[in-house]
Chains A and B, each alone.
Chain A
Amino acid sequence: MKSRLRLSDLVGLGFRGLAARPTRAVLTAIGIAIGIAAIVAVIGISASGRADLIATLDRLGTNLLRVSPGSGVFGTGSEVPEEAARMAARIGPVQSVSQTTRVEATVRRNDLISELETGGLAVLASRIDLLDQLSVDVVVGRFLDEATSEVPTVVLGAVASERLGIADLEPRPRVYLDGHWFTVIGILEETELHPDLERAVLIGYPVAENLFDTSESPTALYVRAAPEFLNDVAEVIPATVNPQQPDAVEVTRPSDALLARQAADEALTQLLVGLGAVALLVAGVAIANVMVMSVLERRTEIGVRRALGATKRHIRLQFLVESTLLAGIGGLLGIALGGGITVAFAANRGLTLSVPPEGIALSIAAALAIGALAGLYPAWRAARIPPAEAVRK
């Protein structure tokens, strides 16, 4: 002779218990919903941001080194061999090399503007393979090629084009470089990893040599190497490009900036998820509180159920299921809310939407676990009520 309660009936009891006091159930579930929404939104937004960051990193590659052979404390006057790029290319794992050289000239919109108003823009001589090397593209026009490198043509960095007030190539804009008119043939896209290029105008080496006596001694070398040997390359490169003053050589990896941002994002995400977890904890305490109240109010119901044959375990399960459902409903609400926030944010910022499914699964699991935990004590109390006392008038 045994009491039996079907699982479907148990779940039904849980829903019914909540439906009996809908306002209270909703208010309690909101606590969980807010906590879960915060966590889902934070995870979603940071994942969406990271998706873009990773896409950028993938596109740019992390195997690019930028080498400035002449800077440093005494670096300005140092002689860097013109063949530095060729030397660097001979290092085994190096795949390709490109370079720019600072040109002793200023760039102005026209000859009426004072020589002193350079707008912080530099003139760089550039190899024609520079853009391929950096995975940067032009937004309008085209980059320098063998032909245009010979003649006074110029490609503008993104910031330079803004400062010079040249947004497109109609009608054939020209800029003034120390006594020479150069025709603008292209404008580069924004490239946050190479701020020096954004703030520069680029001309070909032949024309730079002809008009401004620029040598091929590089100001910046861009070296791509096999990723697994990148550190080794970084170690030997100073002595290769500037044998006289290897200490003056500065080797950086532009993608490090993105990686640093990614790390910072992750730290912030963890902090916010932690705050969401605290909100969940508070919501869990609220559920426990409401469930204890509910047990006190429903003494008679508990007594009647015991009289009808419910075991202590059935009573315990009923309240556990009720609090777990309460938290579960809150969790679903929270996921909807947090998902909505993420979608809106990603759309607003133009980010690629990415809500990690394991994040959602985890937050539902967290909500259910909190509900179950919060229900433990009230359920235990409910089951402990002696049936004879509960039905006493």
Chain B
Amino acid sequence: MTAVSTPGAVLRLNDVAKIYPGSPPVHALDGIDLAIGEGELAAVVGPSGSGKSTLLHVMGALDRPTHGTVEIDGIDVATLSDRALSGLRSQKIGFIFQDFFLIDGLTATANVAEGLLYRGLPRRARNERARHALERVGLGHRLTHRPNQLSGGERQRVAIARAIVGNPAIVFADEPTGNLDSATSDEIATLFADLNSDGATIVVITHDRELAARFPRLVELRDGRITGDTSLHPV
């Protein structure tokens, strides 16, 4: 297990710590070294309270570490302004949330197209790419449905389509199956594997060891520290 840079790393964390002030201060993350290579499909697994969400936010440039460095696609996050950080998220990062976080009033296509909204693409181009992304996740027949007309699994597929529609360098999924039954969870895991085999780099964060075990790489997190990192096929 080593954090020493893999040359093709999309994401690299060096000695990252996140400390929330208070008395006593909470060390949510401590001494994290982690590198995710291009084309990897990895799971970060840990019990609740292990710092998974904090790690996701730090990895996804939604939050900054208290110290240590985070590099995304070769860019050191610490040097970026909030505005540039937003730019980075719009171009390089896709997010998938446990509660899907779709916009109720919009069709599946419009929801997915929202993933390109902050790239300044014209509407027509956004919708075109959104349709392709929906077809890619197996929802070509649900283009004009609204979230409340879709099942939980379908909603999560829409959210996944939104995350991949812009071909980001890396996709983070936060408990993507937390609200789904086991059959649907299986389908979602399979979808991740499919997307990965097409070249997407995906990091899934979950407390579900069974789900995590289906991915080629398993990073274990406990009390803010990495306690294990095993690869089926070492990169």
Which residues from chain A sit less than 8 Å from chain B, CB to CB?
Answer: 1-6, 8-9, 16, 19-20, 300-301, 303-314, 386-388, 391-393
Nearest CB of chain B from residue A87's CB, rounded to whole Å: 85
B60 at the interface (CB under 8 A from A): yes
Nearest CB of chain B from residue A146's CB, rounded to whole Å: 84
Scoring B residues 70 to 98 as 1 if CB is less than 8 Å from chain A, else 0, what string do you get? 00000100000011101111111101011
Closest B residue, CB atoms, query A304: B101
Contact B123 A309, beta carbon cutoff 8 Å: no
Contact B86 A309, beta carbon cutoff 8 Å: yes
Contact B120 A20, beta carbon cutoff 8 Å: no
Q: For residue B97, which residues in chain A have a CB less than 8 angstroms away from its CB?
A: 304, 391
Contact A309 B87, beta carbon cutoff 8 Å: yes
A311 and B89 alpha carbons, distance in the complex (Å): 10
A393 and B106 alpha carbons, distance in the complex (Å): 22
A303 and B95 alpha carbons, distance in the complex (Å): 11
Q: For residue A392, which residues in chain B have a CB less than 8 angstroms away from its CB?
A: 53
Nearest CB of chain B from residue A15's CB, rounded to whole Å: 11
Known contacts A20-B104, A307-B60, A393 near B99 by CB under 8 Å: yes
Tell me which of A1, A312, A393 has the highest count of chain B C-beta atoms within 10 A of its own C-beta. A1
A392 and B62 alpha carbons, distance in the complex (Å): 11
A20 and B104 alpha carbons, distance in the complex (Å): 8
Nearest CB of chain B from residue A46's CB, rounded to whole Å: 44
Contact B87 A3, beta carbon cutoff 8 Å: yes
Tell me which of A3, A4, A301, A303 has the highest count of chain B C-beta atoms within 10 A of its own C-beta. A3
Nearest CB of chain B from residue A131's CB, rounded to whole Å: 72
Nearest CB of chain B from residue A351's CB, rounded to whole Å: 46
Scoring B residues 159 to 192 as 1 if CB is less than 8 Å from chain A, else 0, what string do you get? 0001000000000001100000000000000000
Nearest CB of chain A from residue B48's CB, rounded to whole Å: 10
Known contacts A20-B104, A306-B86, A311-B83, A1 near B98 by CB under 8 Å: no
Known contacts A16-B105, A20-B105, A310 near B99 by CB under 8 Å: no
Q: For residue A313, which residues in chain B have a CB less than 8 angstroms away from its CB?
A: 83
Closest B residue, CB atoms, query A387: B62
B103 at the interface (CB under 8 A from A): yes
Pick the contact of A6 from B88, B103, B120 — CB < 8 Å? B120
Nearest CB of chain A from residue B169's CB, rounded to whole Å: 11
A8 and B120 alpha carbons, distance in the complex (Å): 10
Contact B103 A301, beta carbon cutoff 8 Å: yes
Nearest CB of chain B from residue A192's CB, rounded to whole Å: 61
Q: For residue B53, which residues in chain A have a CB less than 8 angstroms away from its CB?
A: 392-393
A-B contact pairs, 23 of them (CB 8 A): A1-B84, A1-B91, A3-B119, A4-B119, A5-B117, A5-B120, A8-B123, A9-B123, A16-B105, A301-B101, A304-B101, A305-B118, A307-B95, A308-B89, A308-B90, A308-B95, A309-B89, A309-B117, A310-B90, A310-B117, A311-B87, A312-B86, A388-B57
Q: For residue B82, which residues in chain A have a CB less than 8 angstroms away from its CB?
A: 311-312
Q: For residue A301, which residues in chain B have a CB less than 8 angstroms away from its CB?
A: 101, 103
Contact B119 A309, beta carbon cutoff 8 Å: yes
Contact B86 A310, beta carbon cutoff 8 Å: yes
A84 and B5 alpha carbons, distance in the complex (Å): 115
B114 at the interface (CB under 8 A from A): yes
Q: For residue B119, which residues in chain A have a CB less than 8 angstroms away from its CB?
A: 3-4, 309
Contact A3 B98, beta carbon cutoff 8 Å: no
Q: For residue B57, which residues in chain A have a CB less than 8 angstroms away from its CB?
A: 388, 391
For the A-B complex with A310-B86, A387-B62 known, give 10 more contacts whose Cβ atoms are closer than 8 Å: A2-B87, A16-B106, A304-B97, A307-B95, A308-B95, A308-B117, A311-B87, A388-B62, A391-B95, A391-B101
